[in-house]
Amino acid sequence: MTGVEIELARAILVIGLVLSAMLYSVSRIASRVIVTAPYLALMVLGEQWLTIAGWVILSLVGIAAVTWAAKTWPLPRSWLFAIAVLVPAGVHVLLMWLAGAPALSNLSPYLAAGLYVTNGLTAYDAKRQGSVRTLLSAGGVALVTYLIA
Distances (CA, A) of 7 to 3, 10, 35, 143: 12, 5, 18, 19
Give the C-alpha separation, 64 to 94, whole Å. Answer: 17
Give the C-alpha separation, 101 to 45, whole Å. Answer: 23
Give the C-alpha separation, 24 to 4, whole Å. Answer: 27
pLDDT of residue 113: 73
Closest CA to 13 of 102, 108, 91, 131: 108
**Cα angle 24-34-113, degrees, rounded to a multiple of 5:** 170
Q: Tell me: the pLDDT tens digits for 95-108?
A: 888 888 776 566 66
Helices of type H across 28-108:
36-45, 49-72, 77-99
Which DSSP letter does residue 107 get? Answer: S
Q: Tell me: the pLDDT tens digits for 13-71?
A: 888 888 888 888 888 776 666 788 888 888 888 888 888 898 899 999 999 999 999 99
Give the C-alpha separation, 82 to 117, whole Å. Answer: 11
Contacts of 82 (CB under 8 A, 6+ apart): none
Give the residue, 133 or 32, on which the prediction is more confident. 133
